[in-house]
Structure 1
Amino acid sequence: MNKTPSPDESQQMLKWLNQNRQMLLDLYKDQYIAYNANGLIAHSENLREVLELAEASKQIFVIYLVPRRTASIQILPIRFRTIARHD
């Protein structure tokens, strides 16, 4: 099935992804997932397998590779102090 989602469908799919991001990171790290606005359709480490399962569902879907890990940046404070020289 090679149907491109409409802009509205794409927005709904992105909304589902953002709402379920933590669950996906917990359960499907380093796996491909096929999903749509209604939920998860298929998942596997093998992209070809995910595509076959998703196409068999006859639904519009998108594929996403769930990252192995996420990183955040923390900026730490730097404290300066004066140094006085004494002779």
Structure 2
Amino acid sequence: MEAKESERFVFARDLIDEKLLIGKTKSDVYTMLGKPSFEDSSYGLIHYSLKDGKTDLYFLDIRFDNEANIPRVRAAFVASD
């Protein structure tokens, strides 16, 4: 089941604060969050749009270590529009 943008916003901060994404594979992230809003494999980046339930738009950016045999999350952060 894919998480909606508004649902992602609620738990994105916890995922980052608790470092729950660090070390996960792309498949793990897809299972947790669903299909990303944007992906750039050449830079090891996936991007999810988040809505706070109001009018503000945020982005959950997840960066992978592309040099590993199986790329894993090395960083994740939330940015505002």
Same fold (TM over 0.5): no
Per the normalisation by structure 2, the TM-score is: 0.28
Query: For the pair shown, which has the larger CA radius of gyration, 1 or 2?
Result: 1
Q: Which has the higher strand share?
A: 2
